Structure 1
């Protein structure tokens, strides 16, 4: 079975711009490609798992999200990520099937790519990311961006690991892997 790292997109891999539909505004951390290469060399499959509720809210289209994701892949190298899993459901929908914190997107990846969640990680900046990872059986890394709210407080306590940056999260993954 394979091991994987699942990444949230906004405020994890790219700077969060709410309801981003202009792919020219994407900002990624300098050296992201080298950091992702470290994970690939360690044998991890890499995925992006993202809620994009702006589609359900009518603030952007699935095509807008696709343009942004394609630009992201061009900027870091399209060979790093196996697949991008997206939920367009809004947070106020009565029943949500795909939206984080539901583990549905992770379960789809585990089935398609024969992934062992017990050897895998979920990295994100929100409580929903931590819960999604926990709900699927992955180790979780909460990137603490210094938010002073209840979600951040709870995420810090529920995550397997807490870091203050994406690159620090990758260091944690590789150090845990080598234990």
Structure 2
């Protein structure tokens, strides 16, 4: 079985001071590429699991999101940082199994890639990310404000990588 790191997108790998509805709206934090590269080098598969309710709400389309993610993957790859796969939930009001805090996206990737969830991490900036990670039995790292249900709380992804690499 493989160990992995599940990353939320907005607020974890990119700034989120405005909605990301098109590729040019995506602005990575300065440490993102290096942090992901360090995870790759440490033998972790790296996945993005992101709620994208703007699709159901009509702010952008699935095609728009695919362009955003293609741009993201290409930009990271230029810095030798690899995202192994991206799962997103397009729902906002629908009762689905994938929207965090439900762990559906994590379970889907775990099944697809034979992931050992107990040896894996979920990194997010919202409580819903941590709840999803806990439900999936991952170690959890909350960015920003502390959340008691998280295993760890740190300032940003670069600090989270230090914790992950120490395991």
- Which TM-score band applies after superposition, normalised by the shorter structure? over 0.9
* 12-21 or 44-53, larger mean C-alpha shift: 12-21
Other-structure match for 1:82? 84
Report the alpha carbon displacement of residue 75 of structure 1 after superposing the two structures with TM.
1.2
1:89-168 equivalence runs, <5 A? 89-90=91-92, 92-93=93-94, 95-144=95-144, 146=145, 156-168=147-159
Match of 1:3 in 2: 3
CA distance in 2, matches of 1:135, 1:84: 19
Task: Provide the residue aligned with 1:39 in structure 2.
Answer: 39
Contact 2:31 / 2:157 at 8 angstroms: preserved in 1? Answer: no
TM-score in terms of structure 2 length: 0.93
Q: What CA RMSD, in Å, does the superposition of the two structures yield over aligned residues?
A: 1.5
Q: CA deviation at 1:17?
A: 4.7
Deviating 4+ runs (over 4 angstroms): none
Unaligned runs of 5+ in 1: 147-154
**Once the 2 structures are TM-superposed, how far is the Cα of residue 22 of structure 1 from its aligned partner?**
2.2
How far 1:18 sits from its partner (Å)?
4.3
Q: What TM-score do the two structures reach when normalised by structure 1?
A: 0.87
Check whether the contact 2:123–2:130 (CA below 8 A) recurs between aligned residues. Answer: yes
Q: Does residue 16 in structure 1 map to residue 16 in structure 2? A: yes
Is 1:172 the counterpart of 2:146? The answer is: no
Tell me the distance in 2 between the aligned counterparts of 1:34 and 1:54: 29
